Structure 1
Amino acid sequence: MSVDIDITGLPPERIVFAPSPLAELGMTLHALAEPAHHPGLHGWVTATGSALAPDLADRLCEADFLWRTTFSDLMMPYAGLSDWSAQPCATLAEELDLLDRLNDEAFVKAALEFTCSAYARDVSPLTDPGTRAWALEMAAARGPRQMAFTKRLLADPPHVRTWLRQLFEDCDEAFFAAVWQRTRVGLAADARHKTELLRRKGPAEALTAISPAVTLEQHENSTRIRVDKMSTGRTTALDPATGPGLTCVPTSFGWPHLMVLHAPGWRPVVHYPVAGPELPRPASVDLLKQRLEALSHPLRMRLCRQLARTPHTTGELADACNVSAPEVSRHVAVLKKAGLITTRRRGRYVLHQLDLTTVARLGSDFLETVLR
Structure 2
Amino acid sequence: MSVHIDIAGLRPERVAVVPSPLAELGMALHALSEPGHHPGLQGWVTGVTAGLDPHLADRMCEADFLWRTIFSDLFMPYAGIPGGALPGATLAEELDLLDKLTDEQFVDSALEFSCAMPYGVGPSPLVDAELGRRALELAAARGPQQEQFSKLLLSDPPRIRAWLRQFLQDCDEAFFGQTWSRLRHQLTADARHKTDLLHRKGLAEALTAVSPAVVLDEAAGEITVDKLTVGRTAARDGALLLVPTSLGWPHLSVLYRPGWLPVLHYPVGSPELAAPPSVQQLALRMTALSHPVRMRICRYVARSAYTTSELAQALDMTAPEISRHLGVLKKADLITTRRRGRYVQHQLDIAVVARLGSDFLEGILR
Question: Is residue 2:83 matched to residue 1:83?
Answer: yes
* Structure-2 residue corresponding to 1:11: 11
Instruction: State the alpha-carbon separation in 2 of the partners of residues 257 and 276 from structure 1.
Output: 11
* Structure-2 residue corresponding to 1:234: 232
* Structure-2 change in CA distance of 1:133 and 1:13 (3 Å): same
Do the aligned residues in 2 keep the contact of 1:19 with 1:188 (CA within 8 Å)? Answer: yes
* Structure-1 residue corresponding to 2:222: 224
Do the aligned residues in 2 keep the contact of 1:190 with 1:274 (CA within 8 Å)? Answer: yes
The superposition leaves residues 63-121 of structure 1 with CA deviations (integer Å, 9 ceiling, x where unpaired) of 1000000100000000001122x101110000000000000000000000001123332
**SS of the residue aligned with 2:139?**
helix
- The TM-score, its normalising length taken from structure 2, stands at 0.75
**SS of the residue aligned with 2:94?**
helix
Do the aligned residues in 1 keep the contact of 2:11 with 2:238 (CA within 8 Å)? Answer: no
* Structure-2 residue corresponding to 1:275: 269
Q: Which structure's CA Rg is the greater one?
A: 2
Structure 1 residue identity aligned to 2:180: W
Shift of 1:364: 3.8
The superposition leaves residues 108-135 of structure 1 with CA deviations (integer Å, 9 ceiling, x where unpaired) of 0000000112333212211222111100
Do the aligned residues in 2 keep the contact of 1:2 with 1:230 (CA within 8 Å)? Answer: yes
* Structure-2 residue corresponding to 1:111: 110
**SS of the residue aligned with 1:68?**
coil
* Structure-1 residue corresponding to 2:332: none
The superposition leaves residues 134-184 of structure 1 with CA deviations (integer Å, 9 ceiling, x where unpaired) of 000100111111111101101100010000000000000000000100000
Instruction: State the alpha-carbon separation in 2 of the partners of residues 46 and 277 from structure 1.
Output: 23
Mapping of 1:49-60 within 5 angstroms?
A: 49-60=49-60
Mapping of 1:33-182 within 5 angstroms?
A: 33-84=33-84, 86-120=85-119, 121-182=121-182
Instruction: State the alpha-carbon separation in 2 of the partners of residues 130 and 58 from structure 1.
Output: 33
Shift of 1:292: 5.7
* Structure-2 change in CA distance of 1:294 and 1:116 (3 Å): farther
* Structure-2 change in CA distance of 1:295 and 1:19 (3 Å): farther
Instruction: State the alpha-carbon separation in 1 of the partners of residues 288 and 208 from structure 2.
Output: 33
Mapping of 1:236-255 within 5 angstroms?
A: 236-237=234-235, 239=236, 243-255=237-249
Figure out how many residues of one structure are paired with residues of the other and give that number: 287
Do the aligned residues in 2 keep the contact of 1:251 with 1:272 (CA within 8 Å)? Answer: yes
Do the aligned residues in 1 keep the contact of 2:9 with 2:238 (CA within 8 Å)? Answer: no
* Structure-1 residue corresponding to 2:31: 31
Gaps of 5+ in 1: 280-290, 298-360, 368-372
Shift of 1:294: 10
**Percent identity among equivalent residues?**
63
* Structure-2 residue corresponding to 1:258: 252
* Structure-2 change in CA distance of 1:294 and 1:58 (3 Å): farther
* Structure-2 change in CA distance of 1:296 and 1:89 (3 Å): farther
Shift of 1:234: 0.8
The superposition leaves residues 205-246 of structure 1 with CA deviations (integer Å, 9 ceiling, x where unpaired) of 011100010111122xx3111111111111100x3xxx2210
Q: For the aligned residues, what is the CA RMSD?
A: 2.2
* Structure-2 change in CA distance of 1:295 and 1:166 (3 Å): farther
Gaps of 5+ in 2: 274-284, 292-351, 359-366
**SS of the residue aligned with 2:183?**
helix
Do the aligned residues in 2 keep the contact of 1:278 with 1:364 (CA within 8 Å)? Answer: no
Structure 2 residue identity aligned to 1:270: L
* Structure-2 residue corresponding to 1:311: none
Structure 2 residue identity aligned to 1:146: Q
Structure 1 residue identity aligned to 2:138: M
Do the aligned residues in 2 keep the contact of 1:214 with 1:227 (CA within 8 Å)? Answer: yes
Do the aligned residues in 2 keep the contact of 1:40 with 1:278 (CA within 8 Å)? Answer: no
- The TM-score, its normalising length taken from structure 1, stands at 0.74
Structure 2 residue identity aligned to 1:68: R
Instruction: State the alpha-carbon separation in 2 of the partners of residues 246 and 292 from structure 1.
Output: 34
Mapping of 1:261-340 within 5 angstroms?
A: 261-276=255-270, 296=290
